[in-house]
Amino acid sequence: NAGVTQTPKFQVLKTGQSMTLQCAQDMNHNSMYWYRQDPGMGLRLIYYSASEGTTDKGEVPNGYNVSRLNKREFSLRLESAAPSQTSVYFCASSETGPGGHGYTFGSGTRLTVV
């Protein structure tokens, strides 16, 4: 089925380790997003990419970097993981431009930093 694919689904890191979360969509959407979900906080936007070649900070970008590799792929990198980055990470995609375009979400990556 068409959609948003995230890998890995689960990951445990030690403090200070680095890793990259991968996200790919096959819906030909221009815009892609990374959110984190924490208890009681809802989903908060980390970074987004309105179109291929552009990225912008969201609400909570510190400690993260992103790469819009091509139209399909948008990766999130933790250079030096911290326990505060323990969270569930969701990637999403949508059409670009004004309008009520809904988001399609991936199934999430549960990351634990110890």
Partner 1 sequence: AQKVTQAQTEISVVEKEDVTLDCVYETRDTTYYLFWYKQPPSGELVFLIRRNSFDEQNEISGRYSWNFQKSTSSFNFTITASQVVDSAVYFCALKGGATNKLIFGTGTLLAVQP
The contact set with partner 1 (CB under 8 A) reads 31, 33, 35, 40-45, 48, 50, 58, 88, 90, 92, 94, 96-105, 107-108
Q: Minimum distance from CB of 62 to partner 1 (Å)? A: 18
Three-state DSSP class for 106? coil
- Minimum CB separation of residue 64 from partner 1 in Å reads 16
Q: Is 85 helix (H, G, I), strand (E, B) or coil?
A: helix
- Within 10 A of 33 (CB to CB), how many other CB atoms are there? 23
Our CB check for partner 1 shows the closer of 34 and 113 to be 34
Of 17 and 105, which CB lies nearer to partner 1 in the complex structure?
Answer: 105
How many whole angstroms separate alpha carbon 9 and alpha carbon 68? 20
